[in-house]
Amino acid sequence: MPSLPFIESFKDKDPKFYEMINGIQELVNGESSLDPKTKLMIALAVDAAEGATQGVATISDILRNMGVTDEQIAEVLRITYFAKGNTVLSQSMAAFKK
């Protein structure tokens, strides 16, 4: 996978830092116990939880090109909502502690 555009932008500005962050990207995207689709579904969930709209759009398109269905993408986003939403609910209970 090529470097993400915002990582690539460091190549000329800060070559030493670029090498470090590009190395991490290569580690994350390299061969591992998780297949590429699973890794991207996790990235989709994180981007959605963090409000990275462009990341969600881009990763969804990549996943579709890999054969992932809209139903599967929706399921990932439902799980993300449930996990992130539960954090809000559990933290809200602090308002009622005596």
What's residue 87's pLDDT?
A: 87
Count of other CB atoms within 10 angstroms of residue 26: 11
- Average pLDDT value for residue range 24-31: 92
Q: What is the mean pLDDT of the chain?
A: 93
- Average pLDDT value for residue range 6-34: 93
Binned at pLDDT 50, 70 and 90, residue 16 comes out as very high
pLDDT by residue (tens digit) across 83-97?
998 888 888 989 998
